[in-house]
Chains A and B, each alone.
Chain A
Amino acid sequence: TQLLEQSPQFLSIQEGENLTVYCNSSSVFSSLQWYRQEPGEGPVLLVTVVTGGEVKKLKRLTFQFGDARKDSSLHITAAQPGDTGLYLCAGALFSSGSARQLTFGSGTQLTVLP
């Protein structure tokens, strides 16, 4: 069972359309990151959300952390071909210990057609 459910898995849209990607869990996260990855490259950190209900904006991208810190969404307005890539959410669980790890969602492969 995937700890972080990400949807949709694939999304192909026309330039100028809006879209939303969802990341859901039954677990509470201390923080959640969103990454974008292009083919053959490493994931690039887009944003970190920490506080329940937090909303962060990065140009045309809006990120929201659920009030209960169990879910998050990424909304892209007026998508452009340069937004094409694999979008990954990753959450850090509350735990004790010296080294904690991220739990990754399954990823959303976004293709924006010109």
Chain B
Amino acid sequence: DTEVTQTPKHLVMGMTNKKSLKCEQHMGHRAMYWYKQKAKKPPELMFVYSYEKLSINESVPSRFSPECPNSSLLNLHLHALQPEDSALYLCASSQDPGSTYEQYFGPGTRLTVT
């Protein structure tokens, strides 16, 4: 089973709202990732969690706040977003941060900021 699940599938939020994106995997993977993807462009890395600790933050604005409650779950808390933050947000996981780096992606959350 190589499934990564994400909820919600779609999210529309105003610039003053607070919302959260959720990601879950039950493959025993120890690295989890958040990516942002604009249409027809490659994913852009936002955060990496390695063994439930934040190991990479790609200079993401503080209006995006990641959280890793346990080894299976990854959240992305959103607050005071801008319209340019509208994108597909992808979660991914890999078995071991130091292995062959095969990453398995979830279906994504399509976020629209109005």
Contacts and interface: CB of A to CB of B under 8 A. Distances in A.
Chains A and B form a bound pair? yes
Interface of A: 30-31, 33, 35, 40-45, 48, 50, 86, 88, 90, 92, 98-102, 104-107, 109
Nearest to A42: B105
B55 interface: yes
Interface residues of B, number: 30
A100 B55 CA distance: 9
Interface of B: 2, 4, 6, 31, 33, 40-43, 45, 48, 50-51, 55-56, 88, 90, 92, 97-98, 100-108, 110
Contact of B104 (A45, A92, A106, A107): A45
A99 B48 contact: yes
Given A33-B103, A107-B41, A40 B48 contact: no
Given A99-B31, A99-B55, A107-B41, A42 B100 contact: no
A42 B42 contact: no
A86 B108 contact: no
